[in-house]
Amino acid sequence: MTTQQFTATLATALQALYSAAEAEAIAALVVEHLLGLTPLQRRMQAAVPVPAAALAQLPAVQARLLAHEPVQYVLGTAHFAGLELEVTPATLIPRPETEELVQLITHAQASRPGARVLDVGTGSGCLAIALARELPQAQVLAVDISAEALAVASRNAARYAPGVQVEQVDILAGWPVGAVPASLDILVSNPPYVRESERALMRENVLAWEPATALFVPDHDPLLFYRRLAVVGERLLRPGGSIWLEINEALGAETAALFTEAAFAPAAVLDDFLGRPRFVRAVRR
């Protein structure tokens, strides 16, 4: 079986769950991972026979994918901001929209590379690590309630940004020990924001595999984490420091109003690359 046939065989099987385009993209990721190829190399080596060891892995990989397991968990890696990060079911899979948050912060912080940064709910460490690499002189602290997620973040940081510090904190109840009041330049977070009633809109591979505690909030209090982050930001950000948040696109105005009413200058709702309200930025008065 050639590389092209190997890819096509898996893609055809995956069309039982995914569109043809999605199935082909997932199959390409798997083949590149198993064969150690870049996308260009995979295309250039389309007619090259696949080693028997790689062929032997196909049935198990295919079975996991057909059980709705996300390809990132099957492979143990996810691509984010040019990095190949370890991910497990203890961590959310980093999304392309979250990469935009890194770009927005980096652009705004270009004249102040030595920023002090706190990433709340770090998961795999994607935001903290990407910001540490984009702002080489930054001091970055990443916190999460999950010890399992922090273990993953620590391994990713050791590989890509050894200066990133990690700390286990329940941000709804406690404070990061490593963050001195009124010292932070940036507070960034992609907190849980999906309302329980929105479960029906989500795909099986998310619902069955990604950590619910990192996704969902109760319908009666959907801004639970943002309200707490406003308090955390008021205490830990220096005057002029900024808070950057990923948000539920249906709650942009409400989220921005929460920060405008707190100790922040009028908050701005920013769109993602698809034109959806995806981020809030606010500056500490």
Q: Give the mean pLDDT of 24-36.
A: 96
What is the pLDDT, as a whole number, of residue 237? 97
User: Please, which pLDDT band fits residue 259 given cuts at 50, 70 and 90?
Assistant: very high
For the chain, what percent of residues have pLDDT higher than 70? Answer: 100
* Alpha-carbon gap, residue 274 to 47, rounded angstroms: 37
User: Please, which pLDDT band fits residue 112 given cuts at 50, 70 and 90?
Assistant: confident
- Separate counts of helices (H) and strands (E) for the chain: 11, 11
* Alpha-carbon gap, residue 219 to 106, rounded angstroms: 33
* Alpha-carbon gap, residue 199 to 54, rounded angstroms: 36
Q: Between these two residues, 111 and 205, which has the higher pLDDT value?
A: 205
Distances (CA, A) of 83 to 28, 210, 281: 18, 20, 25
What is the pLDDT, as a whole number, of residue 111? 80
Q: Give the mean pLDDT of 255-283.
A: 95
pLDDT at 24 over 80: yes
What is the pLDDT, as a whole number, of residue 186? 97
For the chain, what percent of residues have pLDDT higher than 90? Answer: 95
> End-to-end alpha-carbon separation of the chain, Å?
63
Q: Give the mean pLDDT of 237-254.
A: 97
pLDDT at 136 over 90: no
Question: pLDDT, tens digit, for every residue of 161-200?
Answer: 999 999 999 999 999 999 999 999 999 999 999 999 999 9
Q: Give the mean pLDDT of 11-19.
A: 97
What is the pLDDT, as a whole number, of residue 110? 85
What is the pLDDT, as a whole number, of residue 279? 98
Q: Are 237 and 120 in contact (CB under 8 A)?
A: no
pLDDT at 113 over 80: no
* Alpha-carbon gap, residue 151 to 248, rounded angstroms: 27
Q: Are 58 and 10 in contact (CB under 8 A)?
A: yes
42 CB-near residues (< 8 Å, 6+ apart): 3, 7, 28, 31, 32, 35
Sheet strands (E) in 1-81 = 77-80
